[in-house]
Amino acid sequence: MIKELLPPAVVAVEAFGDVPGEAPFPGEEDLVARAVEVRRREFITARRCAREALRGFGFPDAPIRPGPQREPQWPSGMSGSITHCAGYRAAAVARTADVPLLGIDAEPHGPLPEGVADSIVVPGEPEMLDRLAATHPGTHWGRVLFSAKESVYKAWFPLTRRWLGFEEARLSIAPDTGTFAATLLTDGTRVDGGPPLTVLHGRFTVGRGLVLTAVSP
């Protein structure tokens, strides 16, 4: 499913279940040593997906350690993103020269928990969600918005090394094309000296009880 949202230069691997009894990869044991079983299973499977994706570029299997903000640390010259939710795990990687920013997210397709919607929207988005609900009532658009903003953050952080709050991006969702655009409402200066980030574009899909979103050039 996630591959359909990404350009050809990206290698993506997904899983809809875990391997019973699978052990953590050597060098990652401490990262889930105290985790509850659900968290342990999703971590192990998602990291396995990431290693399989990296093998598509010739990288040998190795631990994928987290950075200071718990972001995955990819091999030099690579961009990537990992996501997991109930019943789904996925990873996507690409050469930074081809895909300098990359973010993916998966969420269960259902209403957001009480009060969450109010905390993630900016002016203009509630009205958009109302219009979408009226014209496309079969989709939980608040969940699509939430997932899209998660993908935006995952694409944003490696290039800026700064936090991006839900209130710092305004989304425009196009249901007929399965696309969205995020206008950034904060300084998008990049640490690599590239042009500032002002608008990020992405795609979404809904199916199999899931909402999947992806941001890429």
114 and 52 belong to one structural domain: no
109 and 210 belong to one structural domain: yes
206 and 111 belong to one structural domain: yes
The pLDDT of residue 164: 96
18 and 114 belong to one structural domain: no
33 and 128 belong to one structural domain: no
Note down the domain range covering 180. 104-215
The pLDDT of residue 69: 86
pLDDT, one tens digit per residue, over 13-68 is 999 999 999 999 999 999 999 999 999 999 999 999 999 999 999 999 999 999 98
33 and 117 belong to one structural domain: no
pLDDT, one tens digit per residue, over 107-152 is 999 999 998 999 999 999 999 999 999 999 999 999 999 999 999 9
CATH of the domain at 40: 3.90.470.20
Task: Say which residue the tokens 């105290």 belong to.
Answer: 34
pLDDT, one tens digit per residue, over 70-109 is 899 999 999 999 999 999 999 999 999 999 999 999 999 9
DSSP 8-state assignment for residue 148 = H
Q: 216 and 181 in contact (C-beta within 8 Å)? A: no
30 and 51 belong to one structural domain: yes
The pLDDT of residue 3: 97
pTM of the predicted structure, to 2 decimals: 0.96
The pLDDT of residue 61: 97
In sign, the C-alpha dihedral spanning 53, 58, 64, 67 is negative
Q: How far apart are CA 47 and CA 54, in angstroms?
A: 11
DSSP 8-state assignment for residue 198 = -
Domains contained in the chain, number: 2
91 and 18 belong to one structural domain: yes
49 and 83 belong to one structural domain: yes
pLDDT, one tens digit per residue, over 155-205 is 999 999 999 999 999 999 999 999 999 999 999 999 999 999 999 999 999
85 and 156 belong to one structural domain: no
75 and 109 belong to one structural domain: no
How far from the centroid of its chain's Cα atoms is residue 181's Cα? Answer: 15
